Amino acid sequence: MAERIILSARELDFYYGHTQALRHISLDIPANQVTALIGPSGCGKTTFLRAINRMNDLVAGARAKGSLAFHGREIYSPDQDVIDLRRRIGMVFQRPNPFPMSIYDNVAYGPRTHGVRGRERLDGVVEQALRAAAIWDEVKDRLKRSALGLSGGQQQRLCIARALAVEPEVLLLDEATSALDPISTARVEELIASLQGQYTIVMVTHNMQQAARVSGRTAFFLGGELVEAGRTERLFSMPRDKRTEGYLTGQFG
């Protein structure tokens, strides 16, 4: 059965002022799978990730050329509703960043912003999101306590729950486990595995073993260019480009 493509880049260039961060990126992201973006620091993978939900708009002088489409509609179209785009394409950052409020209010924040009202309905949304993020059993008895009292791994799963609470289609993970200990990293990886099939997940990782464990597809970036992309198992076992092979075998990076 043919894969359904939800995100598609064609000849995408991206600039920060006069500095070109991405060059001629053409890449399809299939729906309801995990796609990992790998490559050394400064290779463009995070720029590409942040371009998908226009987080780069917050950087002065940032601009895109070429095509980047979500469900066939240009993400950088002048009439694109950026608030709605970021609801449909959620993002979790490198370091856990819970709001300084209760666990409940962290998760309810987005739904309230988008017009969800009524205690019973909010309670249901919060519980569903916390369950989806595999943290409900750990926090259900302390929902009114500050989220800042959670461990780092719990905070990151709370941030994932916060992103899921507004019912996105796509979840962007920017090095979401790099600040976590090995046990917390394993919990988040299990969570990612459980979410694929329901969500399209695009994750930036420096950890090649992580990419191999949790992703179905991998894209290798180098120097702002996409070197190659494909099924993770194939790319890791039979890379088609010598630069990919060099990076995977630790010759650079």
- Report whether 26 contacts 32 (CB < 8 A): no
Put residue 48 in one of left, alpha, beta given phi > 0 → left and psi -120 to 50 → alpha: alpha
Residue 251 has a pLDDT of: 82
Q: Kindly give, in sequence order, each residue whose CB lies less than 8 Å from that of residue 10, ignoring residues fewer than 6 positions away.
A: 26, 66, 67, 68, 69
Tell me how long the chain is.
253
- The pLDDT of residue 114: 86
Query: Which pLDDT score, from 0 to 100, does residue 1 have?
Result: 61
The beta strands (E) that lie in 130-224 are given as 170-174, 200-204, 217-222
Q: How many CB atoms lie within 10 A of CB 179?
A: 16
- Unique residue bearing structure tokens 């694929």: 196
Cα separation, 188 vs 240, in Å, equals 30
Res 253: pLDDT? 66
Token pair for residue 225?
């260019």
77: its two tokens: 């179209």
Q: What share of the chain is helix, strand, coil (3-state, %, to 5)?
A: 40, 30, 35
3-state secondary structure of 26: strand
pLDDT at 252: 73
pTM, whole model, 2 decimals? Answer: 0.94
Ordered mean pLDDT values, 10 residues apiece, the chain (253 residues): 89 97 98 97 96 94 96 96 95 94 97 90 96 95 97 95 96 94 92 93 95 97 97 96 94 74
pLDDT given at position 3: 84
Residue 87: how many other CB atoms lie within 10 Å? 19
